[in-house]
Amino acid sequence: MAQGSGNRSRLLLVILLVTALFFVTLDLRGVSLTKGSRSITQTMLSPVQKTVSTIFSPLGRFLSDVKNFGKTKTELDQALAQNKKLSSQLVLASETKGESAQLNGVLDLAGRGGYKVVAARVIGHGSASSFSQTITINQGSRSGIKKDMTVISQNGLVGLVKNITSTSAIVLLMSDPSFKVGVKITRSQSIGILQGQGNSSYSFVLLDPAGAIKVGDNLVTNGSDNNHPFIPGVPVGHVTVLDNSTAALVQSATVESYANLNDLGVVSVVLAAPAVAPSVPLRPTPNPTVTVLVTPTPTPSTSTTPTVSPSPTTSIKKK
Amino acid sequence: MSPTRIFSTLAFLFILFTIQESAISLIHFPIAGFSLYLAVAISLIAFEDHNGSLVVGFLAGIVLDLSPTSNAPFGQWALILTIVGYLFATNRESFADFTTSPVIFVFFVAAGATMALLMYLGFGTLVGEVNGSINHDLVILFGNALWTIIFTPMYLPALRTVRKISLTSKER
């Protein structure tokens, strides 16, 4: 009797393992069934994510601030002192202001580059059960977003669109270890490859044997054919540490990105790049000092509040 | 496992998956992140009998494979959690019944979740996934284990109650 039960268990184990391996094989061979199932899941999840994001984003940002407590203790003390004076309504208003500032910043960068962009709110982050680094945004194919489009924030490159549904898209962040982008040094125009490492630092390998890397060098995207996946001239980061290995065949360095990927509230997807790449390398503008006005907030207009259905397409001409 | 309980377990896992993807993933945890889904799935596996562990592991893996942010091949999590289910089922008696002691149970769940993530990394490497530096991966493993140890005692009583309700009279 016990032996029969043991045999049934072994048979069940074999069936389940073979089924799982069958799915893995199908996926690795490119059968669309598995990709379709994830797309359906994303379509089902995105309305829930939008709702939850609207409700819980203040909590998420609060925990993000706690995470950076050691780094920005002074700023946090000031913020906490201010928070004591504010009512819950004003906290929500400052949340909107913060997103508005990010939106203004990203539109400013897009305007200086002459990009045609669509603004989007971040409604989800990658699952902790996978090692990939992604965000989910609340705009999809209905807004003109396609796969492999460049995504920027107010400070520079964020990543590229990995998957889309009609109302949402998943963006692969530039910090993901599988993310690689061709970049060039603005000072010397030498080109190289930047790769994510899963954290806030990036590895940069120079492809130009005659070129040289210096600490503080600014990097911008080099651009791809037909501007997909990367448009040229987007600020990426600056060199912080040189890797002085004499045995290395190529020069390499550690880079810090301009964009803070842990604090993304609003991003923009670049729908179209200008016909000619920006002649002057773009650099992100420093964040302005945020002043919280303790006055009753009127109903916000759509031009300053990304939360109230931002205009799906924002085209800004280069001045 | 009865078909009714398979269905109810699957529905429960879907709800949990939605909470994980839409709410838990929004929280920036100080060290790495926390997968509530993985912790609860391992807990469910630990509660089940031999065959139940295998089936729950497989179902939990299939649901986790649906994650749109995952870059792993579909079926990878099903394979890993089935193996985890098998390991729990075969070794449960070796450590006495750890489900009766909450403290030991919490550490077993943390160990199971860490082992599942390690297997995910190992299998991912075999199929050509890029998962970052060893330091980065170690931080994620440590962070997830830490948060699992902290949060498991909080949801454990509720999970026991839900499971009791879902059991049929014969299974009780």
| A109 and A53 part of one domain | no
pLDDT value, residue B166: 73
CB atoms near residue B141 (< 10 Å): 18
User: For residue range B53-108, what is the model confidence (pLDDT) as tens digits?
Assistant: 999 999 999 999 998 888 888 999 999 999 999 998 888 767 666 667 788 889 88
| A207 and A65 part of one domain | no
| A105 and A44 part of one domain | no
Residues 6+ apart with CB under 8 A from A69: A76
Q: How far is A53 from chain B (nearest CA, A)?
A: 7
Report A:112-141 residues touching B (Cβ under 8 A).
124-132, 134, 136
Of B125, B160, B75, B64, whose CA–CA distance to A17 is shortest?
A: B75
d(CA A298, CA B135): 49
pLDDT value, residue B60: 95
- Choosing from A252, A272, A292, the residue where a domain stops is A272
| A105 and A68 part of one domain | no
Q: How far is B101 from chain A (nearest CA, A)?
A: 26
Task: Say if CB A173 and CB A279 are below 8 A apart.
Answer: no
Structure tokens at A21: 């391996």
| A64 and A107 part of one domain | no
Cα torsion A305, A306, A311, A315 to 10°: value is 100
pLDDT value, residue A159: 92
B169: exposed, middle or buried (C-beta count within 10 Å: 0-12, 13-18, 19+)?
A: exposed
CATH number at residue A248: 2.40.10.340
Amino acid code (one letter) for B89? A
d(CA A6, CA A4): 5
The whole model's pTM is what?
0.72
Domains of chain B: 3-166 (1.10.1760)
- In degrees and rounded to multiples of 5, residue A299 shows phi and psi of -60, 120
> Which residues in chain A are contacts of B27 at CB distance < 8 A?
59-60, 63
Outline where chain B has alpha helix (H): 3-22, 36-47, 50-65, 76-91, 102-126, 134-166
| A248 and A106 part of one domain | yes
Give CA A211 to chain center in angstroms: 30
Mean pLDDT per block of 10 residues along chain A (319 residues) reads 71 93 88 78 84 73 60 66 62 61 70 79 79 87 90 88 88 90 88 87 86 87 83 89 75 88 85 64 56 55 42 43
| A146 and A261 part of one domain | yes
| A152 and A211 part of one domain | yes
> Which residue, chain included where needed, has tokens 């910090």?
A175
Is omega for the bond preceding B73 within 30 degrees of 0, making it cis?
Answer: no
> Which residue, chain included where needed, has tokens 């991966």?
B137
pLDDT value, residue B168: 64
| A167 and A60 part of one domain | no
d(CA A170, CA A164): 6
User: For residue range B43-56, what is the model confidence (pLDDT) as tens digits?
Assistant: 999 888 888 899 99
- Choosing from A27, A53, A72, the residue where a domain stops is A72
pLDDT value, residue A290: 53
Task: Say if CB A180 and CB A202 are below 8 A apart.
Answer: no
ipTM of the complex model: 0.87
Q: Does residue A280 sit within a domain?
A: no
A288: exposed, middle or buried (C-beta count within 10 Å: 0-12, 13-18, 19+)?
A: exposed
Report B:43-72 residues touching A (Cβ under 8 A).
50-51, 54-55, 57-58, 61, 64-72
Residues 6+ apart with CB under 8 A from B138: none
Q: Does residue A90 sit within a domain?
A: no
Number of domains in chain A: 2
pLDDT value, residue A47: 85
| A110 and A181 part of one domain | yes
A216: exposed, middle or buried (C-beta count within 10 Å: 0-12, 13-18, 19+)?
A: exposed
Q: Does residue A45 sit within a domain?
A: yes
Q: Does residue A289 sit within a domain?
A: no
CB hemisphere CA count around A133 (13 angstroms): 26
Q: How far is B11 from chain A (nearest CA, A)?
A: 14
d(CA A98, CA B171): 54
pLDDT value, residue A261: 84
> Domain containing A47: what range?
2-72
CB atoms near residue A211 (< 10 Å): 16
| A118 and A235 part of one domain | yes
- Choosing from A72, A90, A124, the residue where a domain stops is A72
Give CA A243 to chain center in angstroms: 27
> Which residues in chain B are contacts of A126 at CB distance < 8 A?
25, 69
User: For residue range B106-160, what is the model confidence (pLDDT) as tens digits?
Assistant: 988 999 999 999 999 999 888 888 777 788 888 889 999 999 999 999 998 888 8
Is omega for the bond preceding B102 within 30 degrees of 0, making it cis?
Answer: no
d(CA A219, CA A215): 11
d(CA A211, CA A215): 14
Amino acid code (one letter) for A245? S
Q: Does residue A247 sit within a domain?
A: yes
Report A:279-318 residues touching B (Cβ under 8 A).
none
Query: Which element (helix H / strand E) includes A71?
Result: none
Q: Does residue A127 sit within a domain?
A: yes
Q: Does residue A87 sit within a domain?
A: no
Query: Are B22 and A52 inside 8 Å of each other by CB?
Result: yes
| A67 and A184 part of one domain | no
Of B113, B92, B16, B104, whose CA–CA distance to B59 is shortest?
A: B16
pLDDT value, residue A22: 92
Mutate to test the interface with A, among B13, B16, B18, B21 (most CBs of A within 10 A): B21
Among B34, B68, B86, whose Cβ lies nearest the Cβ of A42? B68
Q: Does residue A291 sit within a domain?
A: no
Query: Are A67 and B28 inside 8 Å of each other by CB?
Result: yes
